[in-house]
Amino acid sequence: MQDLPATEVRTTCPYCGVGCGVLARVAADGNVTVRGDTDHPANFGRLCSKGSALGETTSLEGRLLVPEIGGRETSWDEALDLVARRFSETIEKHGPDSVAFYISGQLLTEDYYVANKLMKGFIGSANIDTNSRLCMASSVAGHRRAFGEDIVPGTYEDLDQADLVVLTGSNTAWCHPILYQRLLAAREARGTKIVVIDPRRTATAEECDLHLAVDPGTDVLLFNGLLAHLDIAGVIDRNFVDSSTTGFAEALSVASAEASSPGAVAAGCGLAEADVRLLYELFAATSRTVTVYSQGVNQSAHGTDKVNAIINCHLATGRIGQPGMGPFSVTGQPNAMGGREVGGLANQLAAHMNFDRPEDVERVERFWSAPAMARQAGLKAVDMFRAAGDGRAKALWVMGTNPAVSMPDSARVRTALKSCEFVVVSDVTRTDTTRYADVLLPAAAWGEKGGTVTNSERRMSRQRPFLPVPGNARADWRIICDVAQRMGFGDAFTYDGPLEIFREHARLSAFENHGDRLFDIGALAEIADAEYEHFPPRHWPQASGEPCAERLLVDGRFPTPDGRARFVAVRQEGVALPVDAKRPIALNSGRLRDQWHTMTRTGRVPRLMANVPAPTLEIAPLDAHRRGLRDGDLAHISSRYGFARARVTVSDNQKPGTAFLPMHWSGHFAANAGAGSLATPLSDPFSGHRN
């Protein structure tokens, strides 16, 4: 990596899971400017609209700078004493499962590690879940079912090297913009074909060779039909299937019975038969195929089955672990992958270990010398807020996420936050959630704290501070350790900085790991101060004494007990978004190019607000006509769970019977425009994911 002028600091973008490298510079007058890091292998110097505007988000306007108890400013000592005392008393009186943490894929790996350690090893409950539940949990569960471990086999280079890229349930052009630009550049160079599977004609679909506007929730049928077609077309990789997998015959038989022909699939998915055939023929004929998927797959009551339906097609053709091919779940948040490494979900343990293996639980217990090791999975996000609402969870700590807006059935979540006895919120600014905080803790923000994040392709990068920590704000890892010490767990939480935590995290990944867990970064367990400071972006695994494997699952061996991958026989369940005469429109929600989630940062930047300045509901011409709605009208939208209001945009991009409302508008920016108020809390049985 090239040396930088002393005024520039090398760090990583805090938005999406592409994980672009950023060079930040602070001018003498305090103004921050950023540019892309040409040395970073995720972006090679490019930044999207949100990344380029990062310099405009670092002002202190609206920042939380002092701890508060009940709205009154106070000292850290008083706030931390109260948090520790209330958590300890609640645990003493009602047991460890009466408390919970709801955390975030936007925390750094080191923050995440200590939060998980405190809850699962020292408090003695697994009631810690993250907003990645809304995001990545179906991929995690699908990977574990198929591969035995939560593995993303591929790298971004596979997109450069593929001849066909299928983007399903992913508006890549807006949500992973730099990856999308990379894909377009590859197409320029080698003529890559791009297929988009999405009920909406998104910005991503505008550029593609084939767009399949599937009915929402019908992806399993589409991919089951593909599996059946691959068999008929004679492109099953028999060698690979025989030597590296189990369960093929059953998966194929279920798929073939359900999706007997492209015609049957087309009818079930609301597609033209010719388009279905075209996809199937392209897929069958192209060995270098990558299937990228995101929330249209994950965020659904049958998300795990969708993930396995996709993986089945890659296993059947042996298209996995080789250049230019593989299933590729792209992560949403900057550290969604890091959170999975440290076990941030209620049903995971740290370092890719799991509650369903008692030897894993004991191993983590031994490593931490944990006085109160949790032995079973805890409450997942939706259930956690139910428990907070009905009095089972009596003390809740929310860090780095805004569930009052972003959880489905958010009105119920707000009621739960109001009724929960003791709510702590760590954030950098006031949000719809901080309104419910009994104790408000001011966290250090991007640019003020250091640590590591891992992007979609398993590449770990450093975030580095370039600004002083303002007011009395503190880094999240430190706040968590401060509370842990006051709860009497001092010896295990005396880190002097993120580096010490990172070393422990690396040691745990290698602890009694004889190659059975692919997540192993043992080579970094003794990383020196200067090396952590320098830390070039690198993939995991980084096992001690072994070369770093960039692409995983290369040799046809999988981290299951028998070394084989598993086909999962999946059936198309009822459509994910049931509509009826009373509620005839299936509402879909997602993202805009220039906004980030609940807008706490991007909402402050005028040029990012300019593109779509107000909440809008996109609706098909036919549906608009039936309801007498025209462009610019104010629509009242209601669901079983709540209501919202938004301006109408009549658009051919919407399939009749579906409408799209961005997820971003919180109560802070618009009254009653929250998509979360309308969204269903129905969850996937395997991942706890909901649609």
Ligand X SMILES: Nc1nc2c(c(=O)[nH]1)N[C@H]1C(S)=C(S)[C@@H](COP(=O)(O)OP(=O)(O)OC[C@H]3O[C@@H](n4cnc5c(=O)[nH]c(N)nc54)[C@H](O)[C@@H]3O)O[C@H]1N2
Q: Nearer to ligand X by C-beta: 347 or 401?
A: 401
CA distance 87 to 424: 10
The two structure tokens encoding residue 163: 């001849």
Q: Least distance (Å) from ligand X to the CB of residue 174?
A: 5
Partner from ligand X, Mo ion, ligand SF4, none contacting 431, C-beta within 5 to 8 A by type: ligand X
Of 9, 186, 194, 197, the residue at the interface with ligand X (CB under 6 A) is 197
DSSP secondary structure, 72-87, as one string = EE--HHHHHHHHHHHH
The side-by-side arrangement of strands in the sheet containing 459-463 is 451-454, 459-463, 538-539
What is the spatial distance between Cα 542 and Cα 472, in angstroms, rounded to a whole number? Answer: 37
Q: Which is nearer to ligand SF4, 170 or 572 (CB)?
A: 170
Cα(293)–Cα(312) distance, rounded to whole angstroms?
14
The alpha carbon of residue 675 and the mean position of all alpha carbons in its chain are separated, in whole angstroms, by 18
Half-sphere exposure of 621 (CA within 13 A, CB side): 3
Decide which of ligand SF4, ligand X, Mo ion, none touches 663; Cβ closer than 5 to 8 Å per partner kind.
ligand X
Is the CB of 175 or the CB of 586 nearer to ligand SF4? 175
- C-alpha 24, offset from chain centre: 25
Question: What is the C-alpha separation between 408 and 50, in angstroms, rounded?
Answer: 25
20, 100, 388, 552: which one binds ligand SF4 (CB under 6 A): 20
Question: Residue 58: which of 86, 91, 28, 33 has the closest Cα?
Answer: 33
| Smallest gap from residue 640 Cβ to ligand SF4 (A) | 34
CA distance linking residue 193 with residue 208, whole number of Å: 8
- Per CB under 6 A, the segment of 72-80, 198-206, 339-347, 381-389 that binds ligand X is 198-206
Task: Give the DSSP H/E element, type plus range, for residue 89.
Answer: helix 76-94
Contact between residue 561 and residue 246 where contact means Cβ atoms under 8 Å apart: no
Residue holding tokens 């760590």?
426
- Binding of ligand SF4 by 335 (CB under 6 A): no
The candidate with the shortest Cα–Cα distance to 17, out of 294, 310, 399, is: 294
CB burial string 120-143: b at 16+ within 10 A, e below: bbbbbbbbbbbbbbbbbbbbbbbb
Q: What residues between 172 and 211 interact with ligand SF4 by CB under 6 A?
A: 177-178
Among 41, 51, 326, 688, binds ligand SF4 (CB under 6 A): 51
Contact segment (CB under 6 A) with ligand SF4 among 18-26, 114-122, 457-465, 529-537 equals: 18-26
State yes or no: residue 16 binds ligand X (CB under 6 A).
yes
**Listed ranges 10-18, 456-464, 573-581, 682-690: which one lies at the site for ligand SF4 (CB under 6 A):** 10-18
> Considering the rule CB under 6 A, would residue 19 count as an interface residue with ligand SF4?
yes
537 contributes a contact to ligand SF4 by CB under 6 A: no
Stretch that binds ligand X, among 3-11, 80-88, 289-297, 309-317 (CB under 6 A): 289-297
Q: Figure out which of the listed residues 135, 236, 313, 342 binds Mo ion, where binding follows CB under 5 A.
A: 135
* Nearer to ligand SF4 (CB atom), residue 34 or residue 440: 34
For ligand SF4, which is the closer residue by CB, 517 or 591? 591
> Is there binding between residue 13 and ligand SF4 (CB under 6 A)?
yes
Which residues inside 81-140 make contact with ligand X, applying CB under 6 A?
104, 106, 131, 134-135
From 303, 331, 326, select the one nearest 313 (Cα to Cα). 326
Please state, in angstroms and rounded to a whole number, the distance separating the CA atoms of residues 526 and 506.
8
User: Contacting Mo ion (CB under 5 A), which of 21, 142, 217, 332?
Assistant: 332
Q: Are 223 and 306 in contact (CB under 8 A)?
A: yes
One of 8, 10, 11, 15 touching ligand SF4 (CB under 6 A): 15
Q: State the minimum distance, in angstroms, from the CB of residue 200 to ligand X.
A: 4
593 is a contact residue toward ligand X (CB under 6 A)? yes
Beta carbon of residue 402, minimum distance to Mo ion (angstroms, whole number): 12
**Of ligand SF4, Mo ion, ligand X, none, which one does residue 214 interact with (CB within 5 to 8 Å by kind)?**
ligand X
Piece in contact with ligand SF4 (CB under 6 A), picked from 47-55, 512-520, 647-655, 672-680: 47-55
Cα–Cα dist 644/140, whole Å: 32
Yes or no: say if 174 and 184 are a contact pair by the CB < 8 Å rule. no
Per CB under 6 A, 16 contacts ligand SF4: yes
Q: Which of 47, 162, 221, 416 binds ligand SF4 (CB under 6 A)?
A: 47
Whole-angstrom distance, CA of residue 422 vs CA of residue 438: 6
Applying CB under 6 A, the span of 119-127, 352-360, 425-433, 636-644 interacting with ligand X comes to 425-433
Q: Does 50 bind ligand SF4 (CB under 6 A)?
A: yes
Q: Any contact of residue 48 with ligand SF4 (CB under 6 A)? A: yes
What is the CA angle 81-387-116, rounded to 5? 55
Q: Which residues contact 103 (CB under 8 A, 6 or more apart)?
A: 112, 115, 128, 129, 130, 131, 339, 344, 398, 399, 400, 401
Cα gap 163→321, rounded to integer Å = 16
Among ligand SF4, Mo ion, ligand X, none, what binds residue 104 when CB lies within 5 to 8 Å by partner kind?
A: ligand X
CB of 447 to ligand SF4, least distance (A): 14
Q: Does 326 bind ligand SF4 (CB under 6 A)?
A: no
User: What are the tokens at 537?
Assistant: 């972006």
Binding-site partner at residue 428 among Mo ion, ligand SF4, ligand X, none, CB < 5 to 8 Å by type: ligand X
Beta carbon nearer to ligand SF4, 333 or 513: 333
Would you list the DSSP string of 508-555?
HHHTT-SSS-S---GGGTT--HHHHHH---EESP--TTS---SSSSTT
Separation CA 197–CA 294 (nearest Å): 11
Residue numbers at the binding site for ligand SF4 (CB under 6 A): 13, 15-16, 18-20, 43, 47-48, 50-51, 177-178
Residue numbers at the binding site for ligand X (CB under 6 A): 16, 104, 106, 131, 134-135, 168-171, 174-175, 197-200, 202, 214, 216-217, 219, 294-296, 299-300, 332-333, 399-403, 406, 426-429, 431, 443, 445, 476, 588-591, 593, 595-598, 600, 663, 675-676, 679
Residue numbers at the binding site for Mo ion (CB under 5 A): 135, 332
